[in-house]
Chains A and B, each alone.
Chain A
């Protein structure tokens, strides 16, 4: 009930948040459906139906191989979102550990790790991901590992600054006096209090991960065929932009809807916890 009340602010509905939540739910629903059911086999080619316009048989039309674009979007968004989630999980867990230890203990380790952090943060992540893939080959696993590692610094920074503030508070001293261990103080007492900034970092991180995955797969350096991914679909659709624009618009809109949804929720969601 309290959550519902939060949706109204100064007598006005938080329209942007609700639009965002709606878009995100739509994208999530479609990709969950993609895990279990697609109207056609996403990789089945039909030479009689090449570049067919959207119709009731093929909601988003077919691509240059005669594959059903709607089924491919369902399956592809599943891949894209799973990669996004995996990347954010690696980044968040790694970043929380690094940020918690450096923020709580400080000292030389903090100094060194933060310099490395700054250096990594200065270089655009897609460039580093390209280097990683260049060195270790392209594929879904390499992509997830590369992006996941590259997302650690941004989470580490957020968690660290939260810990720096929180560790001075009285409740931490209290817990210490009551004999709580260092690890318990860090992860049971302090971590929940950094929830607000961590949540918006998660939202931004997820969006960046989805966009990076799409870009890398677009360059054929990410998810490899036959596995459909939204970025890959866009690069395959590009030569047929004149004859079958729907096969590019559908996957592009899917990325847009998801990223916009999460983005809109995060602006006001961040405010909630501040």
Chain B
């Protein structure tokens, strides 16, 4: 019980620190909201008046608190580029990004767990052989290049899907799955290579442990050793690894959304950065760091469920 309390307290503190850093980062940017709004011709008095009105003259801690209060209510101000509220803008984009993220995560887990287990059973030097070559090849492909190759082969030559014609999940769920398979594969394939390699190392490390020798000498067969003893132990670091992969999927979708012309949060971020639309950038950064921190929290909890010995915070 104490573990949960401590862990959740640490989560809250981390979230506050991350929010403060995000807030601070956009305070030091050499740009003034009042000046951007009024343009270069504004007089000093006009700028001062607007600064006062926008609350930019208040001390830093006060501004941080009001930023936090607004963020909790989902109020991130208005986009300077689209003139709409940032919350509304993000809400419209979120389903695409989340759909892509979960789809790719599903592919990664569904492919790399069986592959990793299969390859670990053929114990040997991991640097050699065609399998290592294959996983290394998967890791070496830039995801956006992979996306283009998939578009070229399956979209243009074989016409399996229409490039750029996104199907919303609400309208036609199977159409959505069919279209999103290719973006999801572009995100997933490099990560599958990494996860397989990681799982393989983790399993091989466990397979040389003393308890495996004991189990074998007691007459356990290979299969039982692997499924009954080794897998659970080997999965602990993999869960942590997968939570990092999930965070990287979200980051990777920035580029993939651009390749497949999907209007998701990542694309919005890239566009907003080029247009210096800071309210949007700030909201997305805050959202992304929150997701990453929550993922770490969840993976810590999952690890503890797999291995109750983990007690440190």
Using a CB–CB distance below 8 Å, which chain A residues touch chain B?
A: 9, 12, 14-17, 19, 119, 122-124, 126-127, 130-131, 133-135, 138, 207, 211, 214-215, 218-221, 231, 234-235, 237-238, 241-242, 245, 248-249, 252, 255-256, 259-260, 263-264, 267-268, 271
Contacts and interface: CB of A to CB of B under 8 A. Distances in A.
For chain B, which range describes its interface: under 10, 10 to 19, 20 to 34, or 35 or more residues?
Answer: 35 or more
B250 A238 contact: no
A119 B274 CA distance: 26
B106 to A, nearest CB: 19
B293 interface: yes
Interface string B117-156: 0000000011111001100110111111100110110001
Nearest to A23: B140
A252 B149 contact: yes
B266 to A, nearest CB: 9
Nearest to A242: B156
A11 to B, nearest CB: 12
Nearest to B244: A122
Given A131-B285, A241-B148, A215 B142 contact: yes
Contact of B269 (A130, A138, A215): A130
A219 B255 contact: yes
B148 A238 contact: yes
B258 A264 contact: no
A118 to B, nearest CB: 9
Contact of B136 (A138, A218, A267): A267
Contacts of A119: 14, 17-18
A133 B274 CA distance: 9
A248 B151 CA distance: 12
B62 interface: no
Given A130-B254, A215-B255, A267-B132, A241 B151 contact: yes
Contacts, number: 128
Contacts of B17: 119
Nearest to B153: A245
9 contacts: A126-B255, A130-B269, A131-B285, A138-B274, A219-B255, A231-B144, A241-B156, A245-B152, A268-B128
A32 B133 CA distance: 26
Given A124-B250, A131-B285, A207 B255 contact: no
A134 B128 contact: no
B148 A219 contact: no
A267 B126 contact: yes
Given A16-B132, A124-B252, A231-B142, 18 more contacts: A16-B128, A16-B133, A19-B133, A119-B17, A119-B18, A122-B247, A123-B247, A126-B254, A133-B273, A135-B26, A138-B274, A214-B142, A218-B258, A219-B255, A221-B274, A241-B156, A248-B145, A248-B148
Given A123-B247, A238-B259, A252 B133 contact: no
A202 B273 CA distance: 30
Residue among A14, A131, A218, A260 facing the most chain B CB atoms (10 A cut-off):
A131
Closest 7 CB pairs of A and B: A124-B251, A252-B145, A260-B140, A268-B127, A259-B140, A134-B273, A267-B127
Contact of B152 (A12, A123, A131, A241): A241
B259 to A, nearest CB: 7
B97 interface: no
A127 B293 CA distance: 14
Contact of A256 (B141, B254, B259, B289): B141
Interface in B12-39: 14, 17-18, 25-26, 28-29
Given A12-B128, A16-B127, A130-B270, A264 B145 contact: no
Given A15-B128, A126-B251, A234 B144 contact: yes
Contacts of A133: 273
A27 B248 CA distance: 27
A127 B248 CA distance: 9
Contacts of B133: 16, 19, 264
Nearest to A221: B273
A14 B128 CA distance: 7
A14 B269 CA distance: 44
Contact of B270 (A207, A219, A242): A219
Contacts of B289: 123
B195 interface: no
